[in-house]
Structure 1
Amino acid sequence: MATASTPCIFFQQGRYPRSQVLCKFNLEGICKHGTKCPYRHEPSDSSSASSSSTKVSPLHDNDTFVRVFRGALVRYGDGACITSLSLPSEYSSVRLDGLPADTVVSDIVTILENLGHDVDVDGLRIVTTPQSSLCSAYISTPDLDFSKTLSSSLIDSPYCHMKAVPVPPRLPSWASTRRARCNKLNVRWAKPCSECRVFFSTKAAALRVSGKFNFGKYTIFDTRIGCDEPREIVRASITADYDTPLLVGIRQGVASGNAIIAAINKLLRDVGPIDLITEPYEHKRGYLTVSAQFKQDCDAQKAARMIEKKSYDLPYDINLTAKLIYTSTFKTSKEVYRHVQQPLEDCLEEFDAPRINVTSRETGTVLSIDSWSSEEVAKCANAVEDILAGSVIEGKDGQPFWAPQLASNGPASKLLKEIQQRHGVLLLPNRSKREVRYFGDTLKRLEVQDDVVQSLTEDAERRHTIDIDDPGFSWLCKVGLNLIKNVVGDKVVSLNVTSNPKKLIITGSDEEYCEILALLEIGNISFPVKEAISEESCSICLTPADDPVVLGCSHAYCADCFKGLCRNGTAQADVNITCTGAEDKCKNAIPLREIQAHTDSSTFEQLLESSFSTYISRRPDQFHYCPTPDCGYIYRPANNSASSLWHMCTKCLQRICRSCHANHDGQRCEDYRAHQAFEAYKHENRSNVKDCPKCHTTVEKIDGCNHIVCGGCKIHLCWVCLQTFDESPRCYAHMREAHGSIGIDDEDEDEGDEDIG
């Protein structure tokens, strides 16, 4: 391709394409380039619409200093201090459809203000569709009811042609998109059938047979049947001759299947809003099941407790059972899923895991795991999350490998693509965390890692960068760049105009590097060298700086001293790394970009995580760690404005009470505490307190013999071995035969006297 003979005139005239893009740092008020910034700045005194747009936080994907720790989305500012911390469960996200294709951020803010909504949203992005006159806006805000209120406010407004669609909260593309729900409920009941009435000669015989059905001794088609008076039995199922009935009468069912289904649907909808109820599914043994998907998790859990406690009222005499279904979902790119599909299958075959449902969408691939066991779903989801995250390419020192040239889409990025095509794997550089993630066959990982480290290290050794001041940059644009390219070639030299200061990048041999240095002398280019600042004193050890680090405030540090300053930034207060220059009088918070530039990735990430841990530990009234062992996710305790007293942890899927911070499965806190106190009393007095083996009623033996009558089911118990008997004489006979006595010294005591617990 021919090289232009003159510098880009559009760049010289300020009409470089980047000048049409809003500077995200200016939106935050932290852009240091001012009028020299190549990106567009909104004037601070412009129209109200323009000024309103500065209230919009930058997009998560473009924000370098956003991290996800313990399930929380954390945003950092200068000094590594935390500027905001939020939980995905606290957010409501909406996709606003029907916007004109030329809509900008300020237009969205104006629309929201006109509809009476808070415009200080957490995130906002506009998505356009090619060859369409409309676009959509994604809006996230910490108002859980935002999607409902926005939809209502659109009605009878000038924006009634727009539509608000609830969507999952948006996280950074490199963060886990794991979500957990418990809003599905499977309800089961026996299929309506004919009714059997069985007649016996005596009431005792009828009760005896009824009890045998109820306790599972008699079954029909291997299915346990419950009898009340008794009912739902047939002659062939009664195997004992002395239980044979005199007559078996059959009466048709009192309600049709459709009527029962309608009654169950109404019962569930009365609990809370439902998105979907499936058609009944018939099992082989005459049972029917419907699956209801509630809008809110709490409504599904409320319905499950109601059915479990039999506290529902149906016009028909049917017995309902219910199971909650736990769901974990993940969203990933189609490219990532294609490379981890086989590792996923191999991993899940190692343990009895639920089936993973895969849904392909335009925006990516969604994986979902469903099961009635929260422990099973959590175990499977943890394995899936690890695989979807990929593995980190490590350098020769065992630390995450990173090459500075990967920070831009240059030759190094092309080299990385060549490596992944050569091995048939996927390599994704994470510029925010300065690491490269590997996706693909685990057997190839070490081979690919060696290839990446060797190739990019050699590439780095061929690269030289020279800082260019403003006069030198002007000379390069006018004459110098073309002069250098004519000597060493187009592919050897390039300019990085977005850095501060601007840099001349040389990718070539040492001979070519020396040639370029000679050419720069022709233009009288001056560029800083390390020797020029080596005599600066370190602001910590007060000796000449070794491998000096010079901050924007002009204070210098030894490289090791600066790393120590960052590592020791955690104290009793929130982390805030400040400059100690000018005899500790500077006190300026060190910009995070400078901290990242002068520390290795491991030190920088440890600093951010330490800042997070300190922030959480200093706010026990605002955050709690999940009490489930080895979980560690955080949640907010209950307060007066809490919409729910229950929190379901995204990782372990356990339901935690936000008031007493225990998992007591729907019980009230006072009932749970009373139960815990009672269990502690039982443990302390376990020799005198036992549970009935039949009905599990707790029985306490104060004195008397070892014959006990349960206060719940009235069964006769041997206190020593808890064997049960229908009559007291048999119990006394057992105690003498098996244990040698009835448990008191005077064995001649009247056996008719019974100790009742």
Structure 2
Amino acid sequence: MARQKTQLPLRPAGSQAGKKPCVFFAQQRCRNGSSCSFSHDPAVVESVTRITPTGEQDGKASTPKPTCHFYLKGACLKGDSCPFAHPESTQPLVAEENGEHSTDKRQGPENDESEDKPDDWIRQLGGAVIQLGHGAALLKVSLQSDFSAVRISQLPVDSTPGHIFSVLRKLGFAVSIDEIRFAPSPDPTYRVADLRIEDPAFARRFISMADVFKRSFAGKNSIKVIAINAPMPGGSGMHRVECKKVLCSWYRPFKTVWLNFTSSGLAEIVHEKYTSGRWRVLNMPVTSHAPKRSKAWTTVMLTEVPAEATEDDVKKSIPASISPRNVETGTPSFSYDAEMANALVKSRLMDVGPLEWWEDAVFGGKRAKAKARFQDDGDAAKAASLLDGWELPFHKKGKLTVQAIYSARFRVQERIYRAIKPIIEEQSMTWQAKKVYLAVYEPARFSSSRVLKFEGEDNKAVAEAKRILEQILQGHLATDKSKPIWSPAFTVNGEVFQKIQELEQLLGIVIIRNRKLSRVYLFGLEDKCKEAETKLAAIAQQDLSTTNFIKLDAAQFAWACRGGFKSITEALGRKATFNVVSDPKQIVVTGSDEDFKLAIDMVKAQKEPNSRSSSSNTGKQSSTGDCSICWMEPENPLVTDCGHTYCSDCFEGLCVSATSSAKNDFILRCEGNSSQCQQAFSLNFLQERLSSQLFEDILEASFKSYVSHRPDALRYCPTPDCGQIYRAATGTFTCPNCLTPVCTTCFVSHQGMTCADHKYVSSGGDLALNEAKQRLGIKDCPKCKTAMEKTEGCDHMTCGGCGTHICWNCLETFGTGPECYRHMNKVHGGIGMAW
């Protein structure tokens, strides 16, 4: 869903709904009338409310202030005392460039782009491109070895992707036109095209048919075809610098106009008005040359007049009382068709790569300005390298300017954004000085988060701004005497949590409790966070609570669902919570030893709850409004697409716990209705409700889980900290990341040696380790080599690394637990339990 930025009014319905509001019309200064390319719709003008220096809307009916030019450039020193408008935003979006109706590309992200666009759910991790689906389940993994590519050079200069596509189809190659990309050519008399196909055998097959391919180009035997390394397709996502957007511009045609006066005094007045910029033609500044006298006239010559300006347009710019006696117009500097020019530039961009969107040039200044966004990362930089300075066919002396724009996006919870907004606004001045601009988008409907996006021409400056914002979004770790502040009472939403909420309200900050790490993070101004640290340390020292867990068997869990847990909460309040996600199910008691003893006695007794407690507790939480995890009234509730409710913290905890899960199939499912719902959360829902960092962590956890559970298919490079994966059945593999050769038989690097030789050489070091393992009773998983130790129970083991079911006695592996038990009873005469 496209989103509006904070300072932009909603667009009205009607014929002008697709147009941007005219800044000059809002200021009652537009001279273009009905010919203006921007909206003059009264609904638009009425919806543009004046923003006060404090950021509050002023409801008074008054003329909006003109925007401060210095503020637009990030250089206004007057602050709240400035008599001009400072729109509420981390950076202004609509600028007035020399008074033109234009969106200045130097001012950052544009105000009509759908920058908070739908994600394509494609990521690059471990040297692979992955496709994800609902529940963050991994659907597909593509490696560089899955692709092959060729380069075709010496192609005719009029070659197009469509022509190459049709030839390939006739030769029996199943390709798409998006897989054909033109590359920079060292010689302008011919073109170069690259083809990348997800088929390891494509390059070999295509080269074998190169002669047939050449004959399709009218006997161009000079065409050359070679195999090249296949570049990986791109991906999207937050927290990464990408280069997909380009800004294109070119000069528009102009003409010369001569104004003839009988009075030299009038000519001097007209010359001064045009020179000062107070008079314009079609709202564009023109160049006025000093009046020249002849026998009959005093002539003022105007240059850089828009080619489409008529004699009447020129006369309209001059008051009737001093109108010239005669107006002569010259011919345009070149012939120009705006529609043709847009189509031509767009076509050249599409030769570089497929476009996500294209916006026709805005014609309101001396240069026509168009925008485009490529589908694949890096194509914008390639387009700038290939097309910047390209001679325009419709203007032989003119050249196209193509500028690559780097960007990085973040998703931030709305309450955290409001707390850190003053920090971001202060920092934005530094970013703007380096020509890096930050746009802030309003949250979408029903969303609890908003998108922030950097844009700039310098990739290093954008990357540095990204790094600083990431530090801000990490929050401030609350410490006392250099030690993290924590108390068991911080884990529950009881009396201590109410004190934390009061502290948030008092100081205007956000306090996040990370239960997994036992850490507290603070978001807000530094002095307020320091004050909160002192108060949190005092709360933690005063509280003597401990956390205890009551593990429930099947009968106890059924009792808890029938109303037993409700009975415990009636006795203890929010000191008791239900964890229906854990295995086994648990009741968590955070309080005194007496509280824990009372709860465990109630579980052991399994006294049937009274009718009031059990009336609404048959097999599900006490009400549909209760949190699906803790079964308590939710704090900061969110509702899933399937209608179940969660505390925001409980939902984050559910997602965080999944990142360390050893389940065979990673998928985030709803735990509503006593874990009976199991509907997979949509990726859109997860992305909207979680911070961008946690969301990306979940996607990475899904990827790691997928790899670890498929040791026969995928492996990690053995080089420490490399992180590259490869297909296990590819023969010798040379890691493209660290260039280490890996044997795919024994999964180690032993260049120049056989597996047996390497095992013999390395056995000296392994001997001591194996002896220690044997002494301690440790064995390795037959599949992924994860070390295992049996401390109790039967001989059925489940590997914590890959989830394989293993017979501890003989280390035979199975796909399921029942298969393992049948094997143990049949082969070993039992499951290894002494009764």
Q: Which category of TM-score, normalised to the shorter sequence, fits these structures?
A: 0.3 to 0.5
Structure possessing the higher radius of gyration over alpha carbons:
1
TM-score by length of 2: 0.34
TM-score by length of 1: 0.37
